[in-house]
Amino acid sequence: MSEYSYDIVVLGAGPGGYECAIRCAQYGKKVALVEARELGGTCLNRGCIPTKALLHGAEMFEAAKSAADCGVTLGEVGFDFAKLAEYKDGVVNKLRTGIAGLEKAHGVKVIKGFGKVVDAHTLSVENEGSTEEITFDKLILATGSSPARPPIPGIDGENVITSDEILTMSELPESFVIIGGGVIGIEFATLFSTLGKPVTVIEMMPSILPGVDADIVRVLGRVLKKKKVTVINNAKVTGIEGGSTVSVKYELNGEEKTAEGACCVVSVGRRAQTSNIGLEALGIEMNRAFVNIDEHCRTNIENIYAIGDITGKIQLAHVATAQGFVAAANACGVKEEKMDYSIVPSCIYTSPEIAFVGLSEDKAKEQGIEYKLGSYNVAGNGRAMIMGDAMGTAKLIADNSGKLLGAQLMCPRATDMIAELALALRMGANIEDIVNTIHPHPTVSEVVAEAAHDYEGLCCHALPKKK
């Protein structure tokens, strides 16, 4: 028998942690999964799933308003946010119950409580005033992140909230000021504006969605303007005055200005949840609040691994899951696995959706890479037109030999389509491989093929380019 309670203990049950625990059990190990809150972590309970459920409701509302164009008579279209919130909670609860069933079916012991590392082989778990200690051969840290709250005067004022609080609401405020024009902020701007609420977004960078392809951001800017979203770039927030009306003060071009709304949403990134879990006493190497790991997801302590947002790599649920599988293989001694962060698809659930992978045009320029573009205007796609959402673009970036370097999509269901291009990049595909892959018609996926044809100067569904 082992001298330890468990072969593997996973601390944190987000998408990285709970799948890592299952994988370790599949490798034949005795596994415990420790979580202070709900199974599924931030992604399922306060992030990816609830926000997309709300966005789906907003999308349905928008579709219903234009249903008459397709001959569907609905009468007056209304919206009940409390009902949508109930739907969102139902989806979350169903998925959470499913995770619990999966852990049990694979023999993973789920332990409720706040875990703290005592030494390299011991974890204390506190729950409702009682504490137990469990021992382990290997530990995998997966404690995730929480919304950042920068030191802005007034940030703790009335009606100043983060994404966590939004997702507990059953009634929407009448207007919003969003601090931060990154992915989370812009997704919420899309949600609120689609439901008819005035939105102002304040972003300190020259553009919203920093790092996203400039052409796509320009198109999105037009979409947001049509939805009556006010975007203020190059603005530094200097203070917030909470109350029934929230006033957000900011500097723009040397002038002090104010934006007002019934609610202020602070959306300026996320911070790693690594404090008070015993890492300092154990001597785990840190980079500020992040845990340093090698390509095997191992910390400087040989039997302790870390995955997900606490590693400071790429704060995406699917990256945490990939790290979890790598950590599981290495911790269980099944095979030596390494993380590859060069091909990670990113998704933004605006309307239309945005998804990208690999190099952008701007990044290729920065790195001095010679490249050639293939692009296609989604307005020419039959399926997108049928769906009433024919705005956006598809861009493929390849070197002069045709080897694919990156792809950017802005179109309906872009987030479902980007995996094709991630696989193409991983397999070292070239433009000709995409051209020779028959894409079904009519589908939105045809925009990928059209962009590949455009790279070759042979796109049939676009006007000839002037020479």
Please determine, for residue 467, whether its predicted confidence score (pLDDT) is greater than 80: no
What was the pLDDT predicted at 227? 94
For 221, phi then psi, to 5°, come to -60, -40
pLDDT tens digits, 10-40: 999 999 999 999 999 999 999 999 999 999 9
Give me the half-sphere count of Cα atoms (radius 13 Å) on the Cβ side of residue 395.
24
User: Of these residues, 56, 106, 296, 441, which one is catalytic?
Assistant: 441
pTM: 0.94
CATH superfamily of 160-268: FAD/NAD(P)-binding domain (3.50.50.60)
pLDDT confidence of 199, banded at 50, 70, 90? very high
Across 376-388, average pLDDT: 95
Q: Kindly give, in sequence order, each residue whose CB lies less than 8 Å from that of residue 411, ignoring residues fewer than 6 positions away.
A: 352, 353, 378, 381, 384, 389, 392, 393, 394, 417, 444, 447
Task: Give 241's strand partners.
Answer: 247
Protein fold of 346-455: Enolase-like; domain 1 (3.30.390)
| Ramachandran region, residue 154 (left: φ > 0; alpha: ψ -120 to 50; beta: rest) | left
Across 279-295, average pLDDT: 94
Residues 377, 356: Cα–Cα separation, whole Å: 16
Across 333-353, average pLDDT: 95
SS3 content of the chain, % helix, strand, coil (to 5): 35, 25, 40
pLDDT tens digits, 128-163: 889 999 999 999 999 999 999 999 999 999 999 999
What was the pLDDT predicted at 2? 72
Asked if 85 contacts 197 with a C-beta cutoff of 8 angstroms, the reply is no
What was the pLDDT predicted at 464? 86
Across 117-122, average pLDDT: 96
Domain with CATH 3.30.390.30 in the chain: 346-455
**Mean pLDDT, all residues of the chain:** 95
Across 217-226, average pLDDT: 95
pLDDT confidence of 118, banded at 50, 70, 90? very high
Residues 297, 311: Cα–Cα separation, whole Å: 9
Amino acid at 295: E
What was the pLDDT predicted at 463? 86
Question: Tokens 């609040």 identify what position?
Answer: 289
pLDDT tens digits, 433-458: 999 999 999 999 999 999 999 999 99
Please determine, for residue 466, whether its predicted confidence score (pLDDT) is greater than 90: no
Domain with CATH 3.50.50.60 in the chain: 6-147+271-331, 160-268
CA torsion, ordered 274, 280, 283, 289, to nearest 10 deg: 40
Helices 183-194 and 48-65: crossing angle, nearest 10°? Answer: 30
CATH superfamily of 6-147+271-331: FAD/NAD(P)-binding domain (3.50.50.60)
pLDDT tens digits, 40-82: 999 999 999 999 999 999 999 999 999 989 999 988 899 999 9
Active site residue 441: yes
